[in-house]
């Protein structure tokens, strides 16, 4: 009897030590976040365990991750650990479940371009708009685009109102880092048109531009696809849209579909 109990205890201890550790795959990092055990910065693709300790450079830093069975989580600092301004968190006690559900407009077979007045407005994301650097943004033909008819952004810096014309080719706009260099978080999108020989400007939207490269987004989308194992296009699109809306801002159905097609 004693021998049986000893075997049972030995089996339980062995099983406990061989249980697989939960894994959390990093899909997004904002700011500077360091892993205590390696002293290295957290990056997309890293695998974190529940006991990992993280150091955040400031309260705005954040890590987003996915557990294959439990879903999406955010990790934010919650405790001030030292007097040097860094913030500290243990992953297992700082996981915040993310269950956002954003609605994407159905992609139209006859899509002819975006209406900037509606595209650059999003109450769902507090007007944070995801802009893919140097990627053509197609504008519908209701907006004439030439030397006399063009789009520009306007913002106030140090009490001075400044304008910056957006690069355009045919019916496409191109955004780059230079477009929003030194701008405040919120800018105004305007359109100037030739009205019988007289220029007339109108405000279309006020928004917070969030720029990202196509390579950066593709890496995250591929990771989400691999971890989730999702093969259905509609479900994968929903997963990716929720991730992008939460961590960057609004993205159009057409722009998202193009990213998914390149995987």
- pLDDT at residue 125 is higher than 80: yes
Give 177-192 pLDDT, tens digit per residue.
999 988 999 999 999 9
Q: Lowest-pLDDT range, 77-91, 194-208, 241-255?
A: 77-91
- pLDDT at position 11, please? 43
Q: 144-151: long-range contacts (C-beta < 8 A, 24 or more apart)? A: 144/193, 144/194, 145/170, 145/171, 148/192, 148/193, 148/194, 148/199, 149/191, 149/192, 149/193, 149/194, 150/191, 150/192, 151/116, 151/189, 151/190, 151/191, 151/192
Residue 199 has pLDDT above 70, yes or no: yes
Residue 3: pLDDT band by 50, 70, 90 thresholds? very low
User: What is the per-residue pLDDT across 106-119, written as a single tens digit (0 to 9) for each?
Assistant: 555 567 899 999 99
- Specify the pLDDT at position 30: 94
196 pLDDT more than 90: no
User: Of residues 32 and 81, which shows the higher confidence score?
Assistant: 32
Q: What is the pLDDT of residue 150?
A: 97
Can you tell me the mean pLDDT for 225-244?
A: 86
- The arithmetic mean of pLDDT across residues 127-145, rounded, is 95
Residue-level pLDDT at 89 = 86
Domain boundaries, the chain: 19-97, 100-263
Band (pLDDT 50/70/90 cuts) for residue 231 is low
pLDDT digits (tens, 9 = 90+) for 11-52: 444 444 444 578 999 999 999 999 999 999 999 999 999 999
How much is the pLDDT for 99?
81
- Share the mean pLDDT of the chain: 87
Q: Are 243 and 72 in contact (CB under 8 A)?
A: yes
For the stretch 137-172, pLDDT in tens is 999 999 999 999 999 999 999 999 999 999 999 999
**Confidence check: pLDDT of 228 > 90:** no
Interior/surface letters 185-207, b for 16+ CB within 10 angstroms, e for the rest: eebbbbbbbeeeeeeeeeebbeb
């Amino acid at each position: 009897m004693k021998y049986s109990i000893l075997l049972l205890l030995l089996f339980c201890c062995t099983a406990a030590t061989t249980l697989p550790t939960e894994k959390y795959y990093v899909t997004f990092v904002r700011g500077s976040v360091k892993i205590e055990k390696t002293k290295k910065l957290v990056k997309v693709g890293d695998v974190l365990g529940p006991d990992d300790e993280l150091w955040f450079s400031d309260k705005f830093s954040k890590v987003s991750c996915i557990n294959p069975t439990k879903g999406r989580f955010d990790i934010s600092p919650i405790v001030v650990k030292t007097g040097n301004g860094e913030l500290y968190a243990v992953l297992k006690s700082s996981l915040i479940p993310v269950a956002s559900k954003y609605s994407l407009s159905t992609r139209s077979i006859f899509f002819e371009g975006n209406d900037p007045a509606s595209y650059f407005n999003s109450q769902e994301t507090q007007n944070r708009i995801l802009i893919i650097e140097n990627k053509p943004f197609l504008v519908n033909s209701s907006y004439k685009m030439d030397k006399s008819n063009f789009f520009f952004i306007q913002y106030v810096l140090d009490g001075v109102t400044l304008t910056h014309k957006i690069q355009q080719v045919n019916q496409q706009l191109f955004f780059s880092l230079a477009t929003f260099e030194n701008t405040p978080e919120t800018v105004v999108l305007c359109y100037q048109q030739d009205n019988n020989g007289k220029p007339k400007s109108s405000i279309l939207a006020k928004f917070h531009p969030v720029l990202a490269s196509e390579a950066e987004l593709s890496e995250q989308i591929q990771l989400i696809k691999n971890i989730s194992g999702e093969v259905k296009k509609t479900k994968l699109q929903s997963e990716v849209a929720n991730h992008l809306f939460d961590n960057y801002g609004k993205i159009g159905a057409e722009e998202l579909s193009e990213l998914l097609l390149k995987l």
